[in-house]
Amino acid sequence: MRVVIEGLGEDRALRTLVNGKVAASLGRLHVPATTARVQFANETSAKGGPAARCSITVDLPRRPELHADITAESFRLAFEQAFAMLERQVERDRARRREERRRPKKYYLAKRLLEPGASSKEPPAGPAVGRGLAPRRTA
């Protein structure tokens, strides 16, 4: 996986922190990420509000990209908040996959119940080995 950091300048400490945290976090994904873009921008507002913006975009193969965008007082604070937002998205995706594996599909269950000698009291047998289909993408 490639981590691209833009707009940070010469701040080596923050660059090292960003690279390490993003690589460690996205290394645990079930689908390896292809690219992670971390963009920093200094936006001065007319009324003197927060001026540092951090945008993190992670490209995943055959999946929609993960994106987090936060404005804060400093680059480090903006990165920490955007990274926390990205972590919540990853955890939500993990929980959804866990729930999908836990419950069998209704057609699979119906097929097992229609077999001779099957009853609704016993748990269904393991899934039949077949060709693996990629999950459908939904908008």
The predicted structure's pLDDT at residue 119: 65
Distances (CA, A) of 1 to 34, 35, 134: 5, 6, 21
The span from the CA of 95 to the CA of 97, in Å, is 5
Per-residue pLDDT of the chain (139 residues; tens, 9 = 90+): 789 999 888 889 999 999 999 988 888 777 888 899 999 998 876 667 778 999 999 998 888 899 999 999 899 999 999 999 999 998 888 888 888 777 766 777 777 778 877 666 655 555 555 556 667 777 6
The predicted structure's pLDDT at residue 78: 94
The predicted structure's pLDDT at residue 81: 96
The predicted structure's pLDDT at residue 100: 79
The predicted structure's pLDDT at residue 13: 92
CA geometry: angle at 35 spanning 32 and 41, to 5°? Answer: 140
The predicted structure's pLDDT at residue 102: 75
Just give the CATH number of 2-102: 3.30.160.100
Boundaries of every domain in the chain: 2-102
Distances (CA, A) of 35 to 4, 12, 16, 21: 7, 21, 17, 14
